[in-house]
Amino acid sequence: MRFVRSKPWLTALGPILFGVAFLAPLVAQSLEAASLPAPFGLAPIHFGISLGLSLGILAAIRGRWV
């Protein structure tokens, strides 16, 4: 039995989806729990989405998170 990637685009989008779907709410809730303001006057969720998206794109380009 061989492993065949049937949808390589989904594998490439994995880090981006993880950044937006998991890291963004985590960052927003962490900022609110610590009573810290989001930088640049953004709402915490907007800052979380921008940070999660940036980290996800960077991980997708580099091929790793670290």
In a domain, 50, yes or no: yes
Tell whether 2 is covered by a domain: no
pLDDT band at 1 (very low <50, low <70, confident <90, very high): low
Helix, strand, coil share of the chain (percent; to 5): 75, 0, 25
- Quote the pTM value: 0.81
> pLDDT tens digits, residue range 23-58?
999 999 999 999 999 999 999 999 999 999 999 999
Q: Which of 16-20, 46-50, 61-65 has the lowest mean pLDDT?
A: 61-65
Q: In terms of residue numbers, what domain contains 19? A: 9-34+43-62
* Structural domain count of the chain: 1
Q: Where are the beta strands (DSSP E) in the chain?
A: none
Measured CA to CA, the distance from residue 48 to residue 16 in angstroms comes to 13
